[in-house]
Structure 1
Amino acid sequence: MSDLIIVGAGPAGLSAATIAADYGLSVTVIDEFPEPGGRMLGQFHEERGHWWVGKQIADELIEKNRAQGVSIRCGVSVYGMLKVDDMWEVSTSHGAMLAPRVLLATGAAEIPMPTNGWTLPGVMSIGAAQVMTNVHYVKPGKRGLIIGVNVLAMAIARELSVSGVSLAGIVLPPAGPFAGKAALPKENLQLLMGLSHLAPSPFLRLGGKIAKKLGMAGIVSSLFPRGGIKLWDIPLKLRTTAVSINGTDRVESVTLADVNGQGEIITGSEREEAVDFVALAGGLYPLAELASVAGCPFIYTPELGGHLPLHSERMQTPVQGLYVAGNITGVESALVAMAQGRLAAASICSDAGVFGHEGDSKVADAVDEVHRVRASALIQFHPGIPEARRQIYRMWQETFEAGV
């Protein structure tokens, strides 16, 4: 039996474990993957003049955890959770585990994006391409195409390019119920304007900021060149859609077509692009099934990726002894997830009486750190995250803190 079970050995879970163990709690971290680190193992990006390399951060956290006596158990799947008196019984593929407190740091999962031909060998999610390239050091193919324009696609496209993977470009998904607004040039340009700080040149950064302030997404999208623009060295084509993925036994090409401002295909613009792999980028959603199994109520917050467990700013859920941190609370960057993990650990230690009279002060400091990290985070998966967070915490105060 442990004082704390953490489900998920990614940035939030490992960060929480180091803090909780440092204050004397016995901690067990479990994860279904073969090794700890989560998606950090395949992530890297430029962070204000230097490269942030997720594997290095993960290795440091893992080393700290093991030095502090944290038990990290990988290859263990959780399929059930039950509160028995004051203890949580966590059902796993390796038997039941007991603890008075559980932290769910299960992260996020990719949203599937069906496209004609997506069952061919060589079609994968953008995250799979990332793992193949940056974790297993195997190129997904000789030349690929990314379908879907979002923050995840932009970030991983940059990683693939740096790793030497050739990309024919990034194009829009085909219009339909699965893609929704993601198939519209104007919507995607609005998203990119929100990412102007990540642009590869000062000119593009300035232009993106000006266009955003003037609300010029519709005008600019109509003027966007049909051939696209180079994002780093990757053609970004906001007026081109993928009609179908083609091949007999594997991916051989993608049929592309130009679209108008409403995402409608322009007749006669169809052509073939020879590629041997396709990466589908549908975005991310909170991986929160275990919170539902544990009896936690949910709320729908599109700015944070969809349905997520209701929680307080202290990372508490309405279910006593159950806490959440990281992308299960809403999709953000790994740096925010790490800060949330440290906050969750502070909250857990405070509730366990470890801090004595200093509990509220230490939790408040951890809350402030999350605010600072979020405000300075370069990667924002959705617009409106700070206000969405405030709405969630107001809802918590108006219901559970008021005794409703």
Structure 2
Amino acid sequence: MNRQRQQSDVIVVGAGPAGLSAAIVAAENGLRVTVIDEFPEPGGRMLGQFHEERGHWWVGKRIADELIEQNRAQGVKIRCGVSVYGMLKVDGLWEVSTSQGTMIAPRVLLATGAAEIPMPTDGWTLPGVMSIGAAQVMSNVHYVKPGKRGLVIGVNVLAMAIARELSVSGVTLAGIVLPPSSPFAGKSALPKENLRLLMGLSHLAPSPILRFGGKFANALGMAGIVSSLFPRGGIKIWDIPLKLRTAALAINGTDRVESVTLADVNGQGEIIAGSEREEAVDFVALAGGLYPLAELASVAGCPFIYTPELGGHLPLHSERMQTPVEGLYVAGNITGVESALVAMAQGRLAAASICNDAGLYGHEGEHKVANAIEEVRRVRASALIQFHPGIPEARRKIYLLWRDTIQAGVR
């Protein structure tokens, strides 16, 4: 294969909300930017996202198209279908090894996003079983219904958001239920833990009564009590049955999904004997949540920290989106799982840091970076979709760790 060596000022890995937003700012300030992504078209997960936000619909495809157009207007090179398999710093330059040759730049921004957590369940290898994200892509990107009637296994923010999208798109859902108790499921199989999560999302509830009740119960720490009183038949959220006292035991079928075995559970997630029953469906969406897709940061030599509030292991970074590895920056869900709006603001902040470090801002650099940091804080504070509770405090601890170790010269 003919391998080419290509020179840029900045290589952005990931053409999602963070990467595209960063590329615009960097290019506006005169940097030569190349954005690469392994998927066939830019936009990332935004291509299949839409949700109701403060009286209007936020449509990810529309936002992605706007970002792509702005990138092209600034002369940014967007190369899709390109996989990155290695990164090495040589003589002050990053050599990024890709499926289409070696690309070289003094600075690299990793905006690789997040990936879905697998949810192993008895029968999950049957045709018709998919991740909740795959169902979203089928329905909202390719406009193909994943089936006639489906069931979502797993109660989390991702499941709730995409179930709403599927319902709006005309996909029939029999309900959202808990995964079976197992080492893989952990706390996600417990009614109390799931109700605690939903209480934190009470502002998203479609009913004013649910919104008030959720905030009230959350304030009093009543998750355990409320979960024991939660109706066994569940409640309807956006006309989708949410069943926090029901678990999926097995996915059944011969050549494809035909049904799911369900059972009632008590407050500890234990099966109630004699409650087993069959639910006829032809597809199942598994919702295990998201984790930062951060392998390339490890390849580049970046240290990691474990922060469950942000999805798990993620590269250590400052509030400026810098890593301890010189010339390596991060933005978006690789730094912790949040909404696309937060990822876009982080991308702009990372680009501001890159431009400042490159000396393009002059004496205004610190002011511009500080403004970008403040923008991220504002967007985060107003974000309707919060994937985990405690995100602001988790962020604060990460940045304190950076200040007390890396910034202080302790490695």
TM-score, reference length from structure 1: 1.00
Q: 2:232 aligns with which of 221, 226, 234?
A: 226
Give the deviation of 1:191 after TM superposition: 0.4
State the partner residue of 2:121: 115
Q: Does 1:187 align with 2:200?
A: no
Helix, strand or coil: the match of 2:325?
coil
2:129 aligned with 1:97, yes or no? no
User: Aligned-pair distance for 1:239?
Assistant: 0.0
CA-based RMSD of the aligned residues comes to: 0.3
Q: How does 1:74-223 map to 2 (within 5 A)?
A: 74-223=80-229
- Secondary structure at the aligned position of 2:345 is classed as helix
Q: Could you say what secondary structure the match of 1:226 adopts?
A: coil
Say whether residues 1:317 and 2:323 are aligned partners: yes
Match of 1:364 among 366, 370, 387: 370
Task: Determine helix, strand or coil for the equivalent of 1:174.
Answer: coil
Indicate the SS of the match to 2:97: strand
Alignment correspondent of 1:280: 286
- Give the Cα separation in 1 of the matches to 2:294 and 2:71: 25
Q: 1:41 aligns with which of 44, 47, 57?
A: 47
Match of 2:355 in 1: 349
Deviation digits for residues 289-327 of structure 1 (CA, Å, limit 9, x no counterpart):
000000000000000000000000000000000000000
The answer to whether 1:328 aligns with 2:313 is no
| 1:268 to partner: Cα distance | 0.3
- Give the count of matched residue pairs: 404
Aligned partners of 2:195 and 2:323: how far apart in 1? 36
- 1:69 aligns with 75
Shift of 1:383: 0.4
SS in 1 for 2:125: coil
Q: Which residue of 1 aligns with 2:4?
A: none
5 Å-filtered alignment, 1:245-264, equals: 245-264=251-270
C-alpha offsets along residues 217-260 of structure 1, whole Å, 9 cap, x if unaligned? 11110110000000011000000000000000000000000000
After superposition, what is the alpha-carbon deviation per residue over 1:60-100, rounded to whole angstroms, capped at 9, x for unaligned?
A: 00000001100000000000000001100000000000000
CA distance in 1, matches of 2:310, 2:63: 24
Q: TM-score, normalised by structure 2?
A: 0.98
Deviations along 1:325-355, one digit per CA (max 9) or x if unpaired, are: 0000000000000000000000000000000
SS at match of 1:18: helix
In structure 2, distance between residues paired with 1:225 and 1:58:
41
2:35 is aligned to 29
- Structure 2 Cα separation of the partners of residues 296 and 221 of structure 1: 42
Q: Deviations over 1:156-199 (max 9, x none)?
A: 00000000000000000000100000000000000000000000
The match for 1:389 is 395
Q: Distance in 2 between matches of 1:47 and 1:23?
A: 32
Residue 319 of structure 2 aligns to a residue whose secondary structure is: coil
Give the Cα–Cα distance (whole angstroms) in 1 for the partners of residues 226 and 69 of structure 2: 49
The match for 1:268 is 274
Aligned pair 1:305/2:316, yes or no? no
The amino acid that maps onto 2:137 is V
Which deviations, in whole Å up to 9, do the C-alpha atoms of 1:133-177 show, x marking residues without a partner? 000000000000000000000000000000000000000000010
Instruction: Could you tell me which runs of 5 or more consecutive residues in structure 2 were left unpaired when the two chains were aligned.
Output: 1-6
* Identity of matched residues, %: 87
Question: Which residue of 1 is the match for residue 62 of structure 2?
Answer: 56
AA aligned opposite 2:69 = E
Q: Counterparts of 2:98 and 2:158 in 1: how far apart (Å)?
A: 31
Aligned to 1:15: 21
